[in-house]
């Protein structure tokens, strides 16, 4: 039950106001004076696709329908610092967000939208300094002063190593870049949230509520320690920096537990700010957060049920005033199928507006204060989170827990337990493992299948525009700006002003990324697969037993251990599905080759040839499955291993699945195929059949 990356979380909270979440205090739950209502949260949808012009049209349409802030989704080349014509960008341009290659694209993206009056959230991490620089340069060309800008860059690289995969540089230089953004914005763009510590993707990767609390708070501590120790912020101004830290959280269907988690977040953050950093002023200790509710649980089967799931999840972050979100964006009902259409996003906006304006929710103080049941659950979560924080601190902090794979292994294990519970029927998912009989949904009966297809011509158009941009700019000014950027990176100087100068000079996203890659190098995060311990591996009487027996029998017939390569071609960093297949295949007796994310088709084919694998499994959730899988098949044929079967998984519409099978893919698996043991049994049968045909 995975969603497309285009619906991943996207984040931001508004500036400090009197209504931000604060530690729960006993108070009467009486209504306000007649006519008084709290200010509603910022209403957003996460959006961006195909081109800057198409995304601009969508933004303006949503704003006209009552959306009160923007949340920008960037495509994967933009997120990972590549231009649209880079080999790794092939098939990825405009798929999960908008491509922004240079200042001209940013100007098109916000054409007709006055940035001095807009609250803009940008889901961007490894290239956050660059996209913020482009945004500031765009605002300056509009005549907007820096200190008028309000919004957020996510700028949380630690969770990228754990869940989302759009990192570029090693942890230490990445933390330095986060620090540079924070130190620059608190002076130059004081109403901007320079980092949005993001637990959203941790839950999507399998985190329990305790892990979500502890891992996110450990990340925030690592960031603030880095800023404090950088020498860029005077001690007397450090509380202001603490007050600019914001969070972006997830909220699942167990909404009572989720509500308690948010109250625990609020109280633990206040505690950390007081005890670790000595922050005296209450306003600087407030837990300011935005939210996108859970997408992991959205189902491809009976997708209309997702509307109810989304509403229930929203209650967790709006019902409790003392822990209420200040910005909410809801996924669309169809994100397990593909990208949402404008109508689907409107439906999510209307849901927020009904809760905010038709109910009496905002007329009351916190309706849960005084509840002994909730207080006990909050205390339980806090105690467990403190213990986990202490464990991470003993390792040397969040960066050490990334480098030694501790946090990644914990997430892989938690995700495996969740999937096993669904497979066993212990965790009921309506329409998936229970109540599966259903009338056909009229929502998916149209010619478009109920979702938006990215414009197939967008990539070529973006490349043509990029080439024209390069020809028209001052090449000497570009080289001077890049030299200044690289010098700042090497010397330890703050990179924001040189990045803004690069934006004005016409530097491209790929050129900015290449300059910093030369200085900092690149990083491959631990996969967490090798050390993950699962329940299925420890039990003998489970659904995996017959699969193990078939693997053993086939291995004996083949004369060696059945070997599977699990690959993630392209820039898609959502590795949860690939990791779970790799872990379960290992537990079933396969020899598994899994090298993590962001591989070219050539690298995957080279590994398949070198390792002598019996089957290749490709996982792609970014919508780029047709070109990437097609290239893998072509290269395998040329390498002389065209008889090795290939299977594919991801958010793959039926017509694309048919095209892949016609091209030679042996099987296609989508979110409806939740039973991993059944998938592996199918793969064993495919290899068995293929080997007999080859003989």
Q: Which residues are annotated as catalytic?
A: 46, 200-201, 568, 572, 574
Q: Which residues pair with 123 in a beta bridge?
A: 73
* Sign, CA torsion 536/537/539/544: positive
d(CA 605, CA 567): 10
* C-alpha 424 chain-centroid distance: 28
Question: Within 13 A of 294's CA, how many CA atoms are on the CB side?
Answer: 28
Q: Which residues pair with 364 in a beta bridge?
A: 31
Residues near 120 by Cβ (< 8 Å), separated by ≥ 6? 12, 69, 70, 71, 72, 135, 150, 151, 152
Q: Which residues pair with 119 in a beta bridge?
A: 150
Where residue 231 falls (left for φ over 0; alpha for ψ -120 to 50; beta otherwise) is left
Provide φ and ψ at 424, rounded to 5°. Answer: -80, -10
Q: Which residues pair with 220 in a beta bridge?
A: none
Identify whether the C-beta of residue 74 lies closer than 8 Å to the C-beta of residue 48: yes
Nearest CA among 545, 557, 577 for reference residue 670: 577
d(CA 308, CA 268): 31
Q: Which helix (H) or strand (E) holds 198?
A: strand 196-198
Nearest CA among 233, 197, 239, 235 for reference residue 218: 197
* Sign, CA torsion 42/46/49/52: positive
* C-alpha 40 chain-centroid distance: 25
Pairing mode of beta strands 327-329, 289-292: parallel
Q: Which helix (H) or strand (E) holds 153?
A: strand 150-153
Where residue 259 falls (left for φ over 0; alpha for ψ -120 to 50; beta otherwise) is alpha
Q: SS3 for 63-119, per residue?
A: HHCCCCCEEEEECHHHHCCCCCCCHHHCCCCCCCCECCCCHHHHHHHCCCCCHHHCE
- Mapping DSSP to helix (H, G, I), strand (E, B) and coil, where does residue 151 land? strand
Nearest CA among 346, 339, 333 for reference residue 451: 339
Residues near 427 by Cβ (< 8 Å), separated by ≥ 6? 418, 421
Q: Which residues pair with 222 in a beta bridge?
A: none
Taking residue 350's Cβ as centre, other Cβ atoms within 10 Å add up to 13
């Amino acid at each position: 039950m995975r969603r497309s990356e285009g619906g991943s979380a996207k984040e931001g909270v508004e500036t400090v106001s009197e209504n931000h979440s604060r530690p729960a205090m006993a108070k009467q739950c009486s209504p306000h004076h007649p006519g008084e209502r709290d200010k509603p949260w910022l209403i957003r949808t996460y959006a961006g696709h195909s081109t800057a012009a198409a995304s601009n049209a969508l933004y303006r349409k949503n704003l006209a329908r009552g959306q009160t802030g923007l949340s920008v989704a960037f495509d994967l080349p933009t997120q990972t610092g590549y231009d649209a014509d880079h080999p790794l960008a092939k098939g990825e341009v405009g798929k999960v967000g908008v491509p922004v290659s240079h200042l001209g694209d940013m100007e098109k993206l916000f054409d007709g939208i006055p940035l001095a009056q807009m609250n803009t959230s940008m889901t961007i991490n490894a290239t956050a300094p660059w996209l913020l620089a482009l945004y500031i340069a765009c605002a300056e060309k509009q005549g907007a002063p820096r200190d008028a800008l309000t919004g957020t860059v996510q700028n949380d690289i630690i969770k990228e190593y754990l869940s989302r995969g759009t990192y570029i540089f090693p942890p230490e230089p990445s933390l330095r870049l986060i620090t540079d953004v924070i130190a620059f914005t608190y002076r130059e763009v004081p109403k901007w949230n320079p980092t949005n510590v993001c637990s959203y993707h941790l839950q999507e990767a399998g985190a329990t509520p305790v892990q979500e609390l502890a891992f996110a708070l450990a990340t925030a501590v690592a960031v603030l320690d880095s800023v404090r120790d950088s020498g860029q912020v005077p001690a007397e101004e450090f509380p202001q920096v603490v007050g600019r830290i914001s969070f972006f959280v997830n909220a699942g269907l167990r909404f009572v537990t989720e509500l308690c988690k948010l109250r625990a977040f609020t109280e633990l953050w206040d505690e950390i700010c007081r005890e670790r950093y000595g922050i005296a002023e209450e306003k600087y200790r407030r837990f300011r957060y935005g939210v996108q509710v859970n997408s992991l649980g959205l189902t491809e089967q009976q997708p209309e049920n997702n509307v109810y799931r989304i509403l229930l999840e929203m209650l967790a972050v709006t019902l409790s005033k003392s822990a209420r979100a200040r910005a909410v964006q809801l996924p669309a009902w169809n994100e397990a199928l593909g990208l949402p259409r404008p109508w689907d996003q409107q439906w999510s906006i209307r849901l927020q507006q009904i809760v905010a304006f038709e109910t009496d929710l905002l007329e009351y103080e916190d309706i849960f204060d005084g509840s002994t049941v909730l207080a006990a659950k909050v205390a339980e979560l806090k105690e467990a989170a403190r213990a986990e924080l202490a464990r991470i601190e003993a390792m040397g902090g969040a960066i050490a827990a990334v480098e030694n794979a501790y946090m990644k292994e914990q997430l892989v294990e938690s995700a495996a337990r969740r999937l096993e519970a669904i497979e066993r029927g212990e965790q009921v998912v309506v329409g998936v493992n229970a109540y599966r009989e259903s009338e056909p949904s009229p929502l998916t009966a149209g010619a478009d299948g109920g979702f938006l297809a990215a414009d197939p011509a967008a990539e070529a158009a973006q490349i043509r525009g990029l080439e024209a941009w390069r020809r028209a700019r001052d090449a000497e000014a570009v080289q001077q700006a890049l030299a200044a950027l690289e010098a700042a990176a090497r010397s330890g100087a703050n990179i924001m002003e040189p990045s803004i100068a690069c934006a004005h000079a016409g530097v491209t996203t790929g050129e900015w990324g290449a300059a910093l890659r030369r200085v900092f190098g690149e990083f491959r995060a631990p996969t967490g697969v090798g050390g993950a311990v699962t329940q299925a591996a420890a039990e003998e009487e489970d659904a995996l037993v017959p699969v193990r027996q078939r693997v053993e029998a086939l291995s004996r017939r083949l004369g060696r251990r059945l070997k599977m390569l699990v690959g993630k071609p392209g820039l898609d960093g959502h590795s949860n599905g690939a990791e779970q297949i790799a872990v379960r295949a290992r537990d079933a007796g396969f020899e598994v080759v899994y090298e993590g994310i962001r591989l070219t088709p050539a690298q995957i084919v080279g590994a398949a040839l070198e390792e002598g694998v019996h089957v290749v499994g490709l996982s792609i959730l970014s919508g780029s499955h047709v070109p990437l899988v097609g290239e893998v098949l072509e290269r395998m044929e040329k390498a002389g291993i065209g008889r090795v079967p290939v299977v594919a998984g991801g958010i793959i519409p039926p017509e694309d699945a048919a095209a892949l099978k016609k091209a030679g893919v042996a099987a296609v698996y989508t979110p409806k195929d939740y039973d991993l043991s059944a998938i592996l049994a199918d793969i064993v049968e495919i290899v068995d059949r293929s080997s007999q045909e080859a003989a």
